[in-house]
């Protein structure tokens, strides 16, 4: 593993487990440290499976089979409640204002590769928060998604 990874389990997950069929890409808008802290705070009622910093460090907040709270009110291709079938990965900051660094993209790909393989998730099922919550969310930038896809098989 090239990039430093820490594991800090968020309590902001459901008791139910999932079998992920999709990955939803987010950005945090805030700093890496602040975003990890926020997701660890039960008051936030927010979590991702993984947050990736601009320098490639990442924190895993939930196992891939955990039902994390990242998509909120959401639907994809007629299937509501994306938290029940999608893994959430967030990049530090705002991907519109600050395009992703190569380290951030490569680290996300490094994290996702074994998950995509284990759960047989095709690249077409890697979508943006904006796709599942249109009008409510705009993250992450389309360029961020395309950059990640260029790093995956």
Contact 20, 85 (CB under 8 A): yes
Specify the pTM: 0.97
Contact 71, 24 (CB under 8 A): yes
What pLDDT, in 10s, does the model give residues 74-110?
Answer: 999 999 999 999 999 999 999 999 999 999 999 999 9
CA distance 99 to 49: 21
Closest CA to 4 of 117, 152, 99, 110: 110
What domains are defined for the chain? 5-151 (3.40.80.10)
What pLDDT, in 10s, does the model give residues 6-30?
Answer: 999 999 999 999 999 999 999 999 9
């Amino acid at each position: 593993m090239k990039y430093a990874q820490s594991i800090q389990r968020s309590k902001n997950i459901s008791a139910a487990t999932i079998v992920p069929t999709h990955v939803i890409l987010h950005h945090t808008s805030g700093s890496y440290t602040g975003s990890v802290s926020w997701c660890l705070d039960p008051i936030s009622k927010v979590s991702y499976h993984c947050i990736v910093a601009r320098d490639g460090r990442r924190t895993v907040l939930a196992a891939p089979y955990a039902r994390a709270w990242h998509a909120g009110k959401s639907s994809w291709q007629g299937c509501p409640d994306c938290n029940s079938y999608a893994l959430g990965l967030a990049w530090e900051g705002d991907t519109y204002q600050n395009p992703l660094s190569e380290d951030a993209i490569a680290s996300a790909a490094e994290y996702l590769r074994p998950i995509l393989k284990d759960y047989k998730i095709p690249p077409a099922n890697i979508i943006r928060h904006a796709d599942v919550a249109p009008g409510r969310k705009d993250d992450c930038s389309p360029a961020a998604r395309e950059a990640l896809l260029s790093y995956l098989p």
